[in-house]
Amino acid sequence: MSNSPFHLLYLGEDRAWSRLSQALAAAPRASIKTHRAQSLNELFLVLAGGRWHAVALDVHAWNFQGLHYVDKVRSEYPSLPILALYSSAVTDLANKATNVGASHTLALEDLDTDTFLSAIFSSLADLHPYSQPRKDSSVITAFNLSDTTPSSRTQAISHALNNLLCVITANADLLAEHVPHDSTGERSLIEIKKAAKSASDLMRQLK
């Protein structure tokens, strides 16, 4: 296992947090560091202040506000892997989470170490780990994905474009901290982020 752990940020209620914690506790092969945000505002503050490879969101949280949180996080971070935790007792909830931007959905009833790691592998297969403010590919090595090669030209193109969107978004967020409010530079950064989001949305539709 690499010295650089996988950083997972969580937002949601106690039930999903308990199931997720149990799954992670039984994952000896993977060094996974988690942080539980208490609100959407805290989640965005934490994302902006450190390096995170994925976000896990409880879509049931606070009367299904979790679905809105998936949409909000996706709009701000087009290339960040989002794992949506849901209960299969609620009809079509997984599809709704996917439609608003979840990278992968995990039913709480089936959540264990294997299904969680499988979701991580799936989310990272076509994405370099997200980092703020810089990218760090050590997690791919840590999860034994360093030897993964695209099986087709389409996969290679998807991989490259996702990586490009990740770099664009990360650097736009970094520059935004140093650009004066209401300036031409700020408006340009807003347009860059909009373009990155549109490209990310289009790529999800083409998959």
| Span 5-35, pLDDT tens digits | 778 899 999 999 999 998 888 765 557 788 9
Q: How confident is the model at residue 141 (pLDDT cuts 50, 70, 90)?
A: very low
Number of domains in the chain: 1
**7 CB-contact burial (10 Å; exposed 0-12 / middle 13-18 / buried 19+):** buried
Please give the residue range of the domain that contains residue 198. Answer: 1-207
Query: pLDDT for 50-104, tens place per residue?
Result: 778 889 999 988 888 999 999 999 998 888 889 999 998 888 899 999 999 998 8
pTM of the model: 0.60
What CA–CA distance (Å, rounded) separates 65 from 59? 7
What CA–CA distance (Å, rounded) separates 149 from 167? 20
- The CATH number assigned to the domain holding 86 equals 3.40.50.2300
What CA–CA distance (Å, rounded) separates 80 from 88? 24
Mean pLDDT of the chain: 76
